[in-house]
Amino acid sequence: MNFYIASNFQNIHEVRELARILKLEGWNHTYDWTKNERVDSYNLLSEIGRIEKQAVVDSDFLVVLLPAGKGSHIEMGIALGLEKRIFLYSSTNSSFDFDQTSTFYHVDGVDRFTGDLQSFAHYLIGIHHQ
């Protein structure tokens, strides 16, 4: 099972922990952007963008850990366009409150999960073992 995790640097520890758990299942993380150093050129931005786009293409599903930045939402758009399954995770319901949410959080193929990260990881593993 190939997966990609989109988020922002404020969630770096959660991204790494979720990836660790999923890799213990023998799954493949298509790209670990948390290993990137500070980007300081347009050329590097372009290269990372190309790699991240390909990582979404190569994934069987996309996880978005909320709150997420603009890049994560672009990656989500790529996954939606490719009709990949998308899992949105938030530790609280606030990201899904009507005044905070996105229309794309509520389209077919997008699953929303609220709770602790360990429970979310087990949810993902359970769904993909069916």
pTM of the model: 0.93
Tell me the DSSP string of the chain. -EEEEE--GGGHHHHHHHHHHHHHTT-EES--GGG-----SHHHHHHHHHHHHHHHHH-SEEEEESS--HHHHHHHHHHHHTT-EEEEEESSGGGGSTTT--GGGGSTTEEEEES-HHHHHHHHHHHHT-
Pairing of strands 2-6, 61-65: parallel
**pLDDT of 99 higher than 90:** no
Q: Enumerate residues 6+ apart whose C-beta is below 8 A from 127.
A: none
Model confidence at 130, pLDDT cuts 50, 70, 90, reads low
Domain holding 47: CATH number?
3.40.50.450
pLDDT winner (highest mean) among 42-46, 50-54, 102-106: 50-54
Lowest mean pLDDT among 15-19, 43-47, 76-80, 95-99: 95-99
Q: How many domains does the chain have?
A: 1
Q: What range defines the domain where residue 101 resides?
A: 2-128
In the prediction, which pLDDT does 84 show?
97
